Amino acid sequence: MPLPDLDSSVGHSFGLELDAVLIRQITEVSGLKMEQDVIELKQNSTDGKYAIKKLPGRPKAGEVTLTRGLTEDNSFESWIKDSRFGRMHSARRHGAIIVYDYEGVPIKRYKLINAWPKSLEISTLKAGDTSVLTEKLVITYENMEVD
């Protein structure tokens, strides 16, 4: 039986949703992945041959980098202040990275569990430069689920 013919999706825009607050001006998302440890079980088979079996281990925590143009919105800065000053009860949040199509309809949601901001980087400030100023937020998370 052949597989169904599915159209590939093009991510037109991206958003970050945290505690029902949506930030839609995100231009780039990188490093988003699910990963787990691999356990190697080394054993001898019944006929005496050496065999290695690979088993799934614990899930690994991850990091994702979000880039957006510099705006007056200070949601990234206020969130990172909580983690910098050790207020982890308010810094750890559940959220989602949302991929939208060209009509603004959500295509996919990547839920981040116990996410908190690790770093915030502002692009190079150079007088006379005409490039867009950006800010990069690195978020670390304990687990990810795909909707």
Structure tokens at 15: 């958003």
Per-residue pLDDT of the chain (147 residues; tens, 9 = 90+): 565 556 666 777 899 998 878 888 899 999 999 999 999 999 998 898 999 999 999 999 999 999 998 888 888 888 888 888 888 888 899 999 999 888 888 989 999 999 999 999 999 988 998 888 999 999 999 999 998
Three-class SS of residue 143? strand
The residue length of the chain stands at 147
Return d(Cα 62, Cα 91) in angstroms, integer: 16
Phi, psi of 55, rounded to the nearest 5 degrees: -125, 150
C-beta of residue 61 within 8 angstroms of C-beta of residue 141: yes
DSSP secondary structure code for residue 48 in this structure: S
**pLDDT for position 90:** 81
